[in-house]
Amino acid sequence: MPTTMLKTINQRIFLPAFVSLSEEKNQKGSKKRFARPKLDLLQPLRQWLDKIEIQNRKSAKLIVKLIPAQCPFERDLMLFGRKIGHIPPMCKLNPVYNELVYLRFRALCYLVDQCGEDIQSYC
């Protein structure tokens, strides 16, 4: 194992180099060899959600109403006016969460840009 020596004013300090550059390159190559290809079963659904085009006011309003602006599952558990627990937002566990939020955003943008609506009531 190679060592690195630092020189200070009063004494010398020896620091072992734990991983040399050649070992690091070998580890990266072995990870690529043994890495399994990821199988994403939800990729077609994600692509379909990304390709949805909002073309009329009625569908845009429906999308905005169906997809909530905030996670509806996040709650504070109260007992006699005191907080005894907290349920964290579970929406980010949804595997298509980002695509749904982006779809809602596109619907809101359509309502503002194409229809000239005020979207404050949807936020």
pTM of the model: 0.61
Is the model's pLDDT at 35 over the cut of 50?
A: yes
Within 13 Å of residue 24, how many CA atoms lie on the same side as its CB? 5
8 A C-beta contact, residue 71 and residue 15: no
Q: Which of 6, 107, 14 is nearest to 55 (CA)?
A: 107
Task: Please compute the mean of the pLDDT values over residues 88-112 and round it to a whole number.
Answer: 90
- What is the predicted pLDDT for the residue at 10? 59
For residue 4, pLDDT over 90 is answered with no
Using 50, 70 and 90 to split pLDDT, how confident is the model at 28? low
Binned at pLDDT 50, 70 and 90, residue 19 comes out as very low
The owner of tokens 């990266």 is 28
Mean pLDDT of 72-80: 87
